[in-house]
Amino acid sequence: MSAITTLNPKAESARQAQALAINISAARGLAEMLKTNLGPKGTMKMLVSGAGDIKITKDGCTLLHEMQVQHLTAQDDITGDGATSIVLLIGELLKQADLYISEIVVDAVLALNEPGKPTDLNMVEIMEMQHRTEGDSRLVRGIVLDHVNAGFFYKNAEGRDRLVTSERKSIDDHVQKIVELKRKVCLGDDKNKIFVLVNQKGIDPLSLDILAKDGILALRRAKRRNMERITLSCGGEAMNSVENLTKDCHGFAQDALGEEKFTFIERCKNPKSVTVLLKGSTKYILNQLKEMHFVMVFVQ
């Protein structure tokens, strides 16, 4: 900011997302002006210079050179045959991209909207995934969990054996209570239903194996914010103890799918927290998309 002010005190500056929106608007405006020139039935444009000289043409290259375009995005000295077609093509691509982004954001806000109640935009999570292309970005009506890797190290084998012996029984009791709850909740239900356990802390491999044998999908090391959002999306209640587990404490979602190091919990009945999942082939594209979505969500 200081460098811009030093070079030109009258210069205007804009944030990344604002500048991108201005650039898209300028390119679309130029395309709107040139689109009537294209083809054999294209209309002519009359240009009047400051000295009163008149020039009539429908050549896109000539118009781009003769018009006093004030926006840098719409200026280009390297033009020739096909200038009009290229301007129209780029303008339409940017228009569709802008509409697509706007649609995702509007759907995210509407998913949380309740008549007569304020909409908590903090419950719209924007998550990046460097995978595929920006066209694969979408709204997840639920939660996308990104998992954290962690490890525990022992000083020696004897220390490990002592710790395992002292904790094993307590852990097995906790796991057994979770298994009993699952059997109560899923009793007589469709066999395709999966009981999912999401834990903010770690789960040891042996416990994971016990849970898996009973058809329980266990996800460990979920972020605290995601733990809070899961109850808003799926219902139920976050529990910090296995002593008071009841059927009423569990929530419901129709899908829990894994993709790389992400877990999707979606198609919830009445989500109060949603995720705007941004996909892009490079980090630069993800940054551009994230900045645009961030501004659009919090300006609603």
CA dist 70 and 239 (Å) reads 60
Indicate the average pLDDT of the chain. 76
In the prediction, which pLDDT does 135 show? Answer: 73
The domain defined by 146-156+164-268 carries CATH number 3.90.700.10: no
Q: How confident is the model at residue 175 (pLDDT cuts 50, 70, 90)?
A: very high
Strand pairing report for 274-279 and 138-140: antiparallel
In the prediction, which pLDDT does 1 show? Answer: 47
Tokens of 120: 């908590």
Cβ–Cβ < 8 Å for 74, 27: yes
Q: What percent of the chain is modeled with pLDDT above 70?
A: 76
Residues 6+ apart with CB under 8 A from 104: 137, 138, 139, 276, 293
3-state secondary structure 147-173: CCCCCCCCCCHHHHHHHHHHHHHHHHH
Phi, psi at residue 218, to the nearest 5°? -110, 125
The mean per-residue pLDDT over the stretch 101-107 comes to 76
Give the angle 265-270-273 at the CA atoms, nearest 5°.
60
In the prediction, which pLDDT does 258 show? Answer: 47
CA dist 290 and 137 (Å) reads 11
Q: What is the pLDDT of residues 75-95, one digit of tens each?
A: 555 555 667 777 777 777 777
- The reply to whether the predicted model has a pTM over 0.85 is no
Domain with CATH 3.30.260.10 in the chain: 9-141+274-299
Q: What is the pLDDT of residues 11-62, one digit of tens each?
A: 565 565 666 677 777 777 777 778 888 877 778 888 887 777 888 888 777 7
Q: Could you tell me which CATH number the domain at 9-141+274-299 has?
A: 3.30.260.10
Q: How confident is the model at residue 178 (pLDDT cuts 50, 70, 90)?
A: very high
In the prediction, which pLDDT does 176 show? Answer: 92
Q: What is the pLDDT of residues 211-221, one digit of tens each?
A: 999 989 888 88
Q: What is the pLDDT of residues 253-274, one digit of tens each?
A: 765 554 556 788 888 888 889 8
In the prediction, which pLDDT does 191 show? Answer: 63
Helix, coil or strand: residue 216: strand
258-277: b or e for each residue (b if 16 or more CB lie within 10 Å)?
eeeeebbbbebeebbbbbbb
80 to each of 41, 63, 85, 197, how far by Cα in Å?
Answer: 20, 11, 11, 62
Strand boundaries in 50-94, DSSP class E: 54-57
The mean per-residue pLDDT over the stretch 222-246 comes to 86
CA torsion, ordered 76, 80, 84, 90, to nearest 10 deg: -50
Domain with CATH 3.50.7.10 in the chain: 146-156+164-268
Cβ–Cβ < 8 Å for 288, 20: yes
CA dist 189 and 192 (Å) reads 8
CA dist 106 and 98 (Å) reads 12
Q: What is the pLDDT of residues 135-146, one digit of tens each?
A: 788 888 888 887
107: pLDDT strictly greater than 60: yes
H/E element holding 257?
Answer: strand 253-259
Q: What percent of the chain is modeled with pLDDT above 90?
A: 3
